[in-house]
Amino acid sequence: MACFLLLSTRKEGNGARCSKLGSIIRQAGMASKKIRFPTIMRAAIGLLSLIQIANLLHLFRLRVAYPYQLEWMEGAVLEHIERVSTGQSLYVAPSVSFTPYLYTPFYYAVSGAMCRVLGFGLEAPRVVSIVATVATLGFVASFVYEETRDRLAPLVAVALFVSTYEVTGFWFDLARVDSLFHCLVLASLWLARFGKSHGAMAGAGATLFLAFFTKQAALAFLLPLAVFAFATGWKHALNAIASFSVLTVTATLYLQRISEGWFTYYVFRVTGQHKVHWDWLAPSFLEYFIKPYGIALLFTVIVLVIRPRALQRRRLTAAYVLWLLCAVASSALSLNHQDGWVNVLIPAYGALAVVAGFGFGAAQRNRHQSIVVMSIVMWGIAFAVLVYPPSRALPTRADWAAGALVTQALRSAPAPLWMPGAGYLQALAGHEENSAHTMALADIFKTQEPRIRNQLRDDILVSVRQHRWASIVIDPSFRMLPPEIMEEIRRCYRWHQSIFPEHEHGGWPNTGFQTRPQEIWIPR
């Protein structure tokens, strides 16, 4: 009997142990499920982010060597590069032969150096923009990682910025000033935020100076630069401001002197006289800020309000908010300028990506896994909103064929030739004469100063009346010029030939103003 009781007790003990072990296994299984699902979600959003970035770099590779213009103002950039590289004055009185764009000259100087390596053509300035864009992605990632210490948040923030490639007009790799300008702005703010020495602060001011001498919109970021520097001490802020101010004033006075006053005319006076469409502000804000970034920003605001210590140093929150406000305000104002385009949104989207990355990083540190999962879902939706067919960024076979067709037609056109809408094609066809770009001419005609504006108009009208050109290539950009110019062309010239047959649909730019050479006119 005793043996039976002992055996029974042992069986009950083993059963209890088995029951306890089974309970532990079930709890471990449930815990592993709880852990596994957010981990899988994080891996999925990380993979999606990598795909977004890889897709952008792949498009860069496919576009960089395209020999024709991806955007209608690209070609004239080469003439600016050539003038800077050969020591010619860039800022001269506007004329029918050359009128500069309204930008400061640093991008042209950097691109000129790249042309000495890769050869003269559109590939070199595009490579400058691509390198600047890649560096920009690094700065976005660094800002987010340094403030959140989350490994996934920087990748997601970079992918969010990369996803705006289409919204900003496929602009990141164009032969235009914007990518280098944005990269230098981020570099200056990064130095002001994370630099610890007086040398770093002086470098921050000098880098913002280079950004200003790439595109004058960099002035909007002097205040957040100063606030970032002030967070480490007022002497640092003074150092950064002094560095920027001394370099900017010195370079401006020098260029103003050697250009005989034309530098500030183009860089400040002309841009200041262009009309701003204030009634477009609310619709454009909804279209270009709320629609593409609304989901990510809403979740970011919620998370940062719930977790106000998301940034490592709370007193820097004001600096980041100021950066965001300055970037959005500057981009919105530029967008609503007369003939403004979506490329001006790049600085705003960069700042928004950084701040959104903070929100994502803060969500990942939340104790509630539902918040973690929700943040990943929200970012997946944000990516879905910005998705686009990659083929839209690429020139088609018809575009390649159209470029060859135009250059062939222009080779047979009588010289000298006036082609303000696409002077780069004029040069490709072997014509040595120069034509000021239509956009540069239109910028002068939009000013309120009648003397310079009328002088330029009369220069063009007299040239037409005197049959200065043996051929004039007409395209849709002529609508930007005063109507009397086209009227005078019709009176003094006649249609000679159409460049494209009716069935040809190629040759239009991938982005920006839609124009292509259409007709060749010769003197009556």
pLDDT digit string, tens, across residues 16-37: 544 554 554 455 444 444 447 6
pTM of the complete model = 0.91
Mean pLDDT (the chain, rounded):
89
What per-residue confidence (pLDDT) applies to 304?
66
Contact 141, 162 (CB under 8 A): no
Q: Can you tell me the mean pLDDT for 264-274? A: 92
What per-residue confidence (pLDDT) applies to 54?
97
What per-residue confidence (pLDDT) applies to 23?
57
Contact 72, 421 (CB under 8 A): yes
Q: Which residues, in sequence order, are bridge partners of residue 471? A: 417
184-198, 256-270, 301-315: the lowest-pLDDT one: 301-315
What per-residue confidence (pLDDT) applies to 130?
98
Contacts of residue 43, Cβ cutoff 8 Å, sequence gap at least 6 = none
What per-residue confidence (pLDDT) applies to 373?
85
Residues 358-405: tens digit of each pLDDT: 888 888 877 777 778 888 888 888 899 999 999 999 999 999 999 999
What per-residue confidence (pLDDT) applies to 473?
96
- Answer whether residue 5 shows pLDDT above 50: no
d(CA 523, CA 416): 12
HEC string of 369-437?
HHHHHHHHHHHHHHHHHCCCCHHHHCCCHHHHHHHHHHHHHHHCCCCCEECCCCHHHHHHCCCCCCCCC
Q: Can you tell me the mean pLDDT for 162-176? A: 96
Q: Can you tell me the mean pLDDT for 104-117? A: 97
- Answer whether residue 421 shows pLDDT above 60: yes
d(CA 60, CA 67): 14
Contact 452, 396 (CB under 8 A): no
The secondary structure of residue 197, as a DSSP letter, is: S
Residue 127 pLDDT grade (very low, low, confident, very high; cuts 50, 70, 90): very high
d(CA 283, CA 281): 6
Residues 425-467: tens digit of each pLDDT: 888 898 888 899 999 999 999 998 899 999 999 999 999 999 9
Percent of the chain whose pLDDT exceeds 70: 90
What per-residue confidence (pLDDT) applies to 20?
52
What per-residue confidence (pLDDT) applies to 375?
83
HEC string of 78-90?
HHHHHHHHCCCCC
What per-residue confidence (pLDDT) applies to 21?
42
What per-residue confidence (pLDDT) applies to 25?
43
Would you call 310 helix, strand, or coil by DSSP?
A: coil
Neighbour tally for 351: CB within 10 Å: 29
**Phi–psi pair at 334, nearest 5 degrees:** -65, -40
What per-residue confidence (pLDDT) applies to 4?
36
Residues 476-491: tens digit of each pLDDT: 999 999 999 999 999 9
- Answer whether residue 6 shows pLDDT above 60: no
The secondary structure of residue 267, as a DSSP letter, is: I
What per-residue confidence (pLDDT) applies to 7?
36
Element (H, E) at 123: helix 123-148
More confident residue, 155 or 382: 155
